[in-house]
Copies of this chain bind each other. A is one copy, B any other.
Amino acid sequence: MEKLLCGVDIGGTKLSAGIVERDGTVRSKITVYDHTGKTEHQIVDQIAGLIWDLLKKNNLTEQDLEGIGTGFPGHIRYREGVTITTSNLPGFKNFPLRKAIQDYFSIPVKLDNDANAQAFCEYKYGAGRGYSDVIFLTISSGIGAGIILNNKLYRGMTGTAGEFGHTIIDPQSEYECTCGNRGCFMGCACGLTLPQRFRKKIEHGMKTTLPLPPDFDYSHVDGKLIKQGIDSNDPVSLAIADECADYTGTGVYNIFQIFNPPVIILGGGLMNLGDYYFNRIRLKFYELARDMLYDPVQIVKSEAGEDAGLIGAAALLLE
């Protein structure tokens, strides 16, 4: 019998581990939220515990697993299995995460960036099925990506390839990215810009029709609020969705010119802004690409659901 997969998705708010079948079905999973205050070694200990619990619960042993695939929310040195940085968890500066997990198990452990894991999930089981080349972009509080070329993840020299979020697309922008540069794709188009954009519009005299309390703190503006604004035709929310979508359309256009890929998949929390936002992204893309589009490029929504990170991490064992 073919072995099962085990995936671990380390997030900034939740930590999931699961037993995944080779067709991408989650057989069993455990999610915890109390890992964020822990040290690196405590988190590794917790991960090992979750996996042992899963094995016991499912009447399995380590030998029933192909290995353990782990997605990490930050930069990693892929070959070495070492984390470089993360903005989602304390610590993990140059931490040998793969080895630390490996020390608990005798089966192979793989470690990759979480966006790479999600991209691989889309390629294997989602909107990228059937393509050998896939570019996956996740737009949420930040912007991450995964590049699949010739049926494999392209990781670059260190393992940090695919940082479209940090490419400069508008150096004259008023928005600075958390990386410190002005006009990154991420600094212009990610969820973190929503509060700034909202406040700026109000300060410039635009009126929102959203029912906000008089002492509303703009730092609480998020995708949910903007979605509510889009649905109720709030001019401020519509203008913000337009701006973010135009930058994302530009980013997608740049990806098209660089990779000439058959498919570009968009995922992440901001996609919950819905079709108004998604259609505007595509509109901007076609406005820029015009007669330079020699073959149809599919620009599609991510199909994998909330377990994409977990399933993708597990699927890395099949790469």
Binding site for B on A (CB under 8 A): 75, 77, 84, 133, 147, 149-150, 154-172, 179-181, 250, 253-254, 257-262, 288, 290, 292, 294-295, 297
Q: Given the interface contacts A180-B290, A260-B161, does A171 sit within 8 Å of B170 by beta carbon?
A: yes
Q: Given the interface contacts A75-B294, A294-B84, does A258 sit within 8 Å of B157 by beta carbon?
A: no
In the complex, the answer to whether B160 meets A133 with C-beta atoms within 8 Å is no
Partner of A168, one of B163, B250, B290, B294: B250
In the complex, the answer to whether A156 meets B259 with C-beta atoms within 8 Å is yes
Q: How far is the CA of A290 from the CA of B258 in the complex (A)?
A: 24
In the complex, the answer to whether B258 meets A161 with C-beta atoms within 8 Å is yes
Q: Given the interface contacts A149-B154, A158-B294, A292-B179, does A258 sit within 8 Å of B171 by beta carbon?
A: no
Q: How far is the CA of A181 from the CA of B163 in the complex (A)?
A: 24
In the complex, the answer to whether B160 meets A260 with C-beta atoms within 8 Å is yes
Q: How far is the CA of A159 from the CA of B259 in the complex (A)?
A: 9
In the complex, the answer to whether B156 meets A261 with C-beta atoms within 8 Å is yes
In the complex, the answer to whether B294 meets A167 with C-beta atoms within 8 Å is no
In the complex, the answer to whether B254 meets A168 with C-beta atoms within 8 Å is yes
In the complex, the answer to whether A260 meets B169 with C-beta atoms within 8 Å is no
Partner of A133, one of B156, B261, B288: B156
In the complex, the answer to whether A288 meets B168 with C-beta atoms within 8 Å is yes
Residues in B with CB closer than 8 Å to A77 are 294
Residues in B with CB closer than 8 Å to A84 are 294
Q: How far is the CA of A180 from the CA of B261 in the complex (A)?
A: 22
In the complex, the answer to whether B159 meets A260 with C-beta atoms within 8 Å is yes
Partner of A295, one of B158, B169, B250, B258: B158
5 closest pairs, A vs B, by CB? A156-B260, A167-B254, A161-B260, A163-B257, A172-B172
| Further 4 A-B residue pairs, CB within 8 A, beyond A158-B260, A168-B253, A169-B171 | A156-B261, A157-B260, A157-B261, A258-B258
Q: How far is the CA of A253 from the CA of B160 in the complex (A)?
A: 14
Q: How far is the CA of A294 from the CA of B75 in the complex (A)?
A: 10
Q: How far is the CA of A175 from the CA of B118 in the complex (A)?
A: 38
Q: List 16 A-B contacts (CB under 8 A).
A: A84-B294, A133-B157, A156-B261, A157-B260, A157-B295, A158-B260, A161-B260, A162-B260, A165-B257, A167-B167, A167-B253, A168-B250, A170-B171, A179-B292, A254-B254, A258-B258
Distance in Å: Cβ of A256 to nearest Cβ of chain B: 9
Residues in B with CB closer than 8 Å to A156 are 133, 259-261
Q: How far is the CA of A260 from the CA of B261 in the complex (A)?
A: 19
Distance in Å: Cβ of A221 to nearest Cβ of chain B: 24
Residues in B with CB closer than 8 Å to A170 are 170-172
Residues in B with CB closer than 8 Å to A250 are 168, 171
Distance in Å: Cβ of A113 to nearest Cβ of chain B: 11
Distance in Å: Cβ of A13 to nearest Cβ of chain B: 24
